[in-house]
């Protein structure tokens, strides 16, 4: 028995590779543009990086020595070439505020944001999509009104206020969840000195270490900020799902399916949902990317050492290497997520594959 | 001993056994970076935090009636001052300098916008340093300031640039000064910008007046005396940016320079104290600086916590004496 490859499959494979290659090229160009813009921003801001490093008492000679060491007197194109070269090797400079390499700082702060944003997006999607479907299938009903009202609250109430109220009620009064921070101090010490760090995400690392008491403590700490981010994300996802689903349910193929006697759940969750998924992927990906940028206010209220607060603190301290490094990482995450959503979009939509 | 340190998150201190001053009562101190004051307040009220060190005046006020919490008042080392660039003729006029000292609402500001955060202090050494002057001879007296301006021989009003950092507290202070100075014929034109940017202007001697703070580098009076009351070479070429006197182009003169240099090597404590007091009075009353406030610090702690020393003007907090 011999195996044959159909010419159609080969053509599709080739097309997929071409699309991927174009995608990666776009990614490379975008990242180059991002590096260029961050470099220019770093040079045009009216802040002398030397002064930030040497402090107030430094003499002119000391300042010049640091200026030479940083290569700030070199031509701009050479400085940019060095910047790109270093960035490609993972060297984003040294933070003035923390004194650590920016890449090392980000490797510590980004997992905290990633953990929070991922849980928030999962929550927002798991609740937002069914809520949107429920509202779309019963337009004008009480369920629809409730979903709209809850969504509206998520849009309009400031995250800062919601976070503080959430802390006051669920931590302060009801004692259902742990307070701010990622772990209780004692568990934090155990995590730092006794556990192996695999990902920097405490939930994953504690589970992999089999430290279930740390896992429970981390879960108790993350549930409120992740729930808050998830709520904001859910408000957006449910509104969009409702709108997409209502459009689909008015299509002729849905009427045909219903006339043929197909069960309503199948009409909604199989036939209509397949088409709703296509734009919804972009919506969820954008919402995820937004959370990955770091929700500064949520991180501030919950003393969550994430990327958003890292960049903001760096900005206030005029710590440009940290600001630029953080911006590059956020940019890479954004572009990567966009590309991933493009790939998923192609997988979900046969027309995009044609 | 420093057991662990995570920037932006916190650090852990562990007591060293058998220290010559005795063993600490508390074996481990967890320091957590909690940027939001309201969150700190909640943790304190809940009992999950023993001491809160970054609370806003509003939070302190809210906590003051809680029987489980006590408030600890201390000072910090920072002082607020105005630097008048002596390259600008109007600002080098002694009558104008004196008029400005009488045209600031020191008490009004510390009772309102700076309440609980700054106290009136009119000397370059902060309270807590050897020889620090606690006298506050200047207060808002618009009439007296007007009379001094009239004696200055200048045609009023005069227009002066005012470099201020883009920060709410500083803008509040600057607005108050702008208001009272306007009443004596000095129109301040605010130049608001980033802190580092303002500092560059100051170090480049390009300001007219700038609102600044200064904190001591080490716990000896010379740390401030050597910058407010010493400037060996006032020329532009000297580039002596480490001296505040140089930055604002003020030449203290041979006598003050010599006294500052002599004070730091004086080994008799009383004589040293007298020398520093004298220097402070000279700078306070006749220099390019207008000294205004010293940092105040309010920490809140659980009622069962005692023995905590917040650090005073040298900012050297001690945790080893704490019991709870």
What is the predicted pLDDT for the residue at A313?
A: 84
Contact A168 B42 (CB under 8 A): yes
**Chain B contact for A258, CB < 8 A?**
no
pLDDT tens-digit readout, B80-132: 999 999 999 999 999 999 999 999 999 999 999 998 889 999 999 999 999 99
Burial B75-108 (b: 16+ CB within 10 A, else e): bbbbbbbbbbbbebebbebebbbbbbbbbbbbee
Output the six-digit token pair for B100. 């400005």
Contact B43 A180 (CB under 8 A): yes
Rounded average pLDDT over A308-322: 83
Do B253 and B44 meet the contact criterion of CB atoms below 8 Å apart? no
pLDDT tens-digit readout, A26-72: 888 888 888 888 888 877 776 677 777 777 777 778 888 888 887 88
What is the predicted pLDDT for the residue at B320?
A: 87
**Phi, psi values for residue B67, rounded to 5°:** -65, -20
pLDDT tens-digit readout, A174-208: 999 998 999 998 898 888 888 888 898 999 999 99
Residues of A within 8 A of B42 (CB-CB) are: 167-168, 171-172, 179
Residues of A within 8 A of B239 (CB-CB) are: 59-60
Which run of H or E residues covers position B14? strand B10-14
CA A295 to chain centre: 9
pLDDT tens-digit readout, A244-293: 999 999 989 989 999 998 898 899 898 899 889 888 998 999 889 888 87
Record the pTM: 0.78
**Chain B contact for A55, CB < 8 A?**
no
Do B218 and B315 meet the contact criterion of CB atoms below 8 Å apart? no
Percent of chain B at pLDDT exceeding 90: 75
Burial of residue A241 (number of CB atoms within 10 Å: 0-12, 13-18, 19+): buried
What is the signed CA dihedral for A158, A160, A166, A169, rounded to 10 degrees?
-110
Contact B8 A313 (CB under 8 A): yes
Least confident residue range of A33-47, A265-279, B38-52, B59-73: A33-47
Chain A / chain B CB contacts < 8 angstroms? 91
Tell me the shortest Cα–Cα distance from A92 to chain B, in angstroms: 17
Block residue for tokens 């040298």: B314
Which run of H or E residues covers position A11? helix A7-44
- Give bridge partners of residue B188 from the DSSP assignment: B160
Which run of H or E residues covers position B162? strand B158-165
Rounded average pLDDT over B41-64: 91
ipTM, 2 dp = 0.76
Determine if the peptide bond prior to A191 is cis (ω within 30°).
no
Output the six-digit token pair for A175. 């004692």
Do A190 and A214 meet the contact criterion of CB atoms below 8 Å apart? yes
Contact B240 A59 (CB under 8 A): yes
Output the six-digit token pair for B116. 């609980």
């Amino acid at each position: 028995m011999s195996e044959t490859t159909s010419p159609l499959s080969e053509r599709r494979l080739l097309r997929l590779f071409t699309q991927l290659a174009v995608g990666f090229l776009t990614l490379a160009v975008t990242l180059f543009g991002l590096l260029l813009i961050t470099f220019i921003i770093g040079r045009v801001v009216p802040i002398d990086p030397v002064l930030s490093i040497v402090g107030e008492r430094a003499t002119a000679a000391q300042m010049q020595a640091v200026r030479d060491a940083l290569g700030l007197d070199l031509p701009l194109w050479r400085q940019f070439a060095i910047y790109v070269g270093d960035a490609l090797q993972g060297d984003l400079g040294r933070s003035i505020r923390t004194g650590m390499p920016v890449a090392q700082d980000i490797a510590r702060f980004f997992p905290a944001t990633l953990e929070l944003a991922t849980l928030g997006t999962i929550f927002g999607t798991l609740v937002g999509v069914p809520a949107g479907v429920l509202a779309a299938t019963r337009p004008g009903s009480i369920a629809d009104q409730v979903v709209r009202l809850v969504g509206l609250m998520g849009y309009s109430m400031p995250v800062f206020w919601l976070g503080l109220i959430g802390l006051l009620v669920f931590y302060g009064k009801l004692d259902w969840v742990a307070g701010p921070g990622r772990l209780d101090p004692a568990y934090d010490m155990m995590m730092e000195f006794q556990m192996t760090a695999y990902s920097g995400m405490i939930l994953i690392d504690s589970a992999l270490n089999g430290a279930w008491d740390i896992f429970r403590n981390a879960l108790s700490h993350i549930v409120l900020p992740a729930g808050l981010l998830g709520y904001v994300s859910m408000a957006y996802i449910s509104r969009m799902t409702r709108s997409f689903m209502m459009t689909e349910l008015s299509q002729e193929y849905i009427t045909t399916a219903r006339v043929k006697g197909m069960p309503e759940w199948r009409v909604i969750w199989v036939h209509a949902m397949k088409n709703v998924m296509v734009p919804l992927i972009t919506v969820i990906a954008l919402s995820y990317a937004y959370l990955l940028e770091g929700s500064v206010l949520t991180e501030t209220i919950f003393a969550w050492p994430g990327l958003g607060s890292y960049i903001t603190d760096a900005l206030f301290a005029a710590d440009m290497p940290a600001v630029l490094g953080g911006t590059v990482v956020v940019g890479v995450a954004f572009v990567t997520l966009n590309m991933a959503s493009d790939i998923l979009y192609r997988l979900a939509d046969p027309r995009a594959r044609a | 001993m420093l057991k662990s340190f995570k920037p932006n998150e916190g650090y852990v201190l562990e007591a060293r056994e058998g220290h010559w001053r005795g063993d600490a009562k508390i074996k481990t101190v967890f320091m957590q970076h909690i940027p939001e004051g309201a969150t700190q307040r909640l943790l304190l009220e809940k009992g999950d935090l023993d001491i809160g060190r970054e609370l806003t005046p509003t939070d302190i006020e809210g906590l003051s009636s809680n029987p489980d919490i006590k408030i600890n008042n201390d000072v910090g080392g920072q002082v607020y001052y105005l630097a008048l660039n002596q390259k600008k003729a109007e600002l080098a006029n002694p009558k104008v300098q004196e008029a400005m000292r009488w045209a600031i609402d020191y008490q009004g500001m510390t009772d309102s916008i700076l309440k609980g955060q700054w106290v009136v202090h009119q000397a370059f050494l902060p309270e807590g340093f050897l020889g620090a002057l606690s006298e506050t001879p200047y207060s808002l007296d618009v009439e007296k300031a007007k009379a001094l301006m009239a004696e200055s021989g200048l045609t009023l009003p005069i227009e002066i640039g005012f470099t201020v950092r883009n920060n709410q507290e500083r803008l509040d202070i600057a607005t108050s000064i702008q208001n009272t100075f306007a009443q004596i014929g000095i129109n301040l034109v605010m130049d608001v910008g980033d802190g580092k940017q303002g500092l560059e202007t100051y170090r480049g001697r390009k300001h007219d007046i700038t609102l600044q703070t200064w904190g001591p580098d080490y716990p000896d009076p010379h740390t401030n005396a050597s910058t407010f009351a010493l400037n060996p070479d006032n020329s532009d070429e000297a580039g002596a940016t480490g001296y505040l006197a140089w930055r604002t182009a003020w030449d203290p003169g041979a006598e003050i320079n010599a006294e500052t240099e002599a004070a730091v090597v004086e080994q008799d404590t009383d004589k040293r104290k007298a020398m520093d007091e004298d220097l402070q009075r000279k700078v306070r009353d006749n220099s390019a600086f207008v000294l205004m406030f010293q940092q105040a610090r309010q920490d809140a702690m659980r009622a069962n916590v005692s023995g905590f020393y917040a650090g005073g003007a040298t900012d050297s907090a001690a945790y080893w004496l704490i019991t709870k």
